[in-house]
Every structure is written in structure tokens, then in C-alpha cells.
A and B are shown apart, each in its own frame.
Chain A
């Protein structure tokens, strides 16, 4: 029973490039959350998605950041024109629940983005 899978685990980008982070939820989970963690800080909510729908993106910057969770395939967090301040660990979590999430989160191992 595979857990939440994130890739890449580490990503290095130069300023101005694009970063794409992928997340496959646990089998049977249709609720996906993305969180960002800066060094020495807690996890900050970015976006909550269900299959094909963005439910809440209140924590995601309006510019350069986008997220999707297509009917087939993993959820993707995309950061365009990266800047040094985007360097962080990006964690994906999934939650069980048919229509509404149960609220229990299961995390992947994170993707660590470094912007040079």
C-alpha cells in the first residue's frame, strides 16, 4: 500500500526558470493538499484540490504559482520564473474521504527546491 509519492525529491533551478513538482496521493485518496516549509519554520498551507477541481487556493501566491489535479495522473504544483525566495521544501499530503476529506493527512517526503 504505497504512501504519498512526491518527485523530484530535490530540484535545483536558476532564477527565472520553471519548477514542476509532482504528487501522487495514496491509493483511494481524492483530496490533495500542498504545503510549503521554509527553513526553521512550520508548514504553511498553499492549496487544496480534489480531482479536477481547486477547492481552496487562499495560501498560494497569485502570481507565478499554479496547481492542478487532473482526472488522470498526479497533482502538479508549478512555479514559473522562480526567485530565490521560492527556495523551500514543498510537501504534498492526501486525505481519505468520498466527498469531504476526513481531515487526516498523510504526507509525502517532500520536494526540496533550491533556486540559485
Chain B
């Protein structure tokens, strides 16, 4: 099956710092999503981004499908950004999104 690798596994930031999270995948994909799991366990949709670049406030994401990676940028981080960030990719023709192991982010005030 498809391999999804996220890096770094853990990240600690001071409030106001910027960061880049990476998601590498091993095969051609139909779809890619980024999620934020907050400290209460809720999974929040951030981006549905099979290719290209999208921005939403302080967050933006870029997927380069031909090179099999996606990046999530967090600018001017806030303590509420803490949690785990997951990417989920769907192998072409499979209809089953596969999750990476996530990046655990802690933002200190």
C-alpha cells in the first residue's frame, strides 16, 4: 500500500514563529488533505489540496503531486495551533485515504 511519511514528528515553537510541515507519499494520488487534531481530539479539516497552493489566514499548503510531497505552512504561530497535524492521501483508484503518523506541534506562549 501507499506509504505516507510526515516530518518532523515533533515540533516545539515559541508563539509568533513560523513553521513548515512536510508530507511525503510513495505513489500517485488522487487526493490529499491536511487535518489538525486539537488537544481535545477533534479532527479539523484544514485543506483539501490534491495539487497546487491554497491559503487560509495564517495557514497555507502546497502540494506538488508530480514530486510526491505536500507542505503545510504555519505563520505567526499561536498557542491554539498546538496539536497534531495529519496528512491523508488517497492512492489513485483506491478511495481509501491513508494517514501519516502526524506531526505533534507545541506552541509556547
Contact = CB atoms under 8 A, between A and B. Distances in A.
A110 interface: yes
Given A103-B30, A107-B43, A109-B41, A43 B86 contact: yes
Contacts of A72: none
Interface in B66-103: 86, 88, 90, 95-102
Contacts of B33: 103-105
Given A55-B95, A109-B41, A104 B31 contact: yes
B56 interface: no
B102 A103 contact: no
Interface of B: 30-31, 33, 35, 41-43, 45, 48, 50, 86, 88, 90, 95-102
Interface string A77-116: 0000000000001010000000011111111011010000
A65 interface: no
Interface of A is mostly: strand
A63 interface: no
Interface string A37-60: 000011111001000000110100
Contacts of B48: 103-104
> How many interface residues does chain A have, given as a range?
20 to 34
Contacts of B101: 41-42
Contacts of A112: 41
B64 to A, nearest CB: 18
A42 B86 contact: yes
Given A103-B30, A105-B33, A42 B97 contact: no
Interface string A17-48: 00000000000000001010000011111001
Contact of A42 (B31, B42, B100): B100
Contacts of A110: 41-43
A105 B41 contact: no
A35 B41 CA distance: 14
A105 to B, nearest CB: 6
A101 B95 contact: yes
Most chain-B CB neighbours within 10 Å: which of A56, A103, A105, A107? A103
